[in-house]
Amino acid sequence: MKQKTTGADIAHIVNAAHENAFERAGIYEKMENGTFENADIEKLRITDADFNKAIEAFANKDGKRQPIGFNK
């Protein structure tokens, strides 16, 4: 399936992949528990699976885009 994307869409996918990596590594949970250390993210890598999950979530949204600019 071919889908039109904008630079903002790509930035959204990258940010979502980053969040997926944090979730996978338990970073958010460690932050909530107060056990997070910088070493927790020093070795963290965003994987293909993180990107694939983000792309799948993007592709499965309803497909309706908000108009750009002001509506009259």
pTM of the model: 0.74
- Report pLDDT for 64: 61
The DSSP 8-state label assigned to residue 67 in this structure reads P
The DSSP 8-state label assigned to residue 70 in this structure reads -
- Report pLDDT for 45: 95
Judged by DSSP in three states, 28 sits in helix
Rounded CA separation 38/60 (Å): 34
- Report pLDDT for 5: 82
| Residue range 11-68, pLDDT digits in tens | 999 999 999 999 999 999 999 999 999 998 998 999 999 999 999 998 887 656 555 5
Q: Name the more confident of 7 and 61.
A: 7
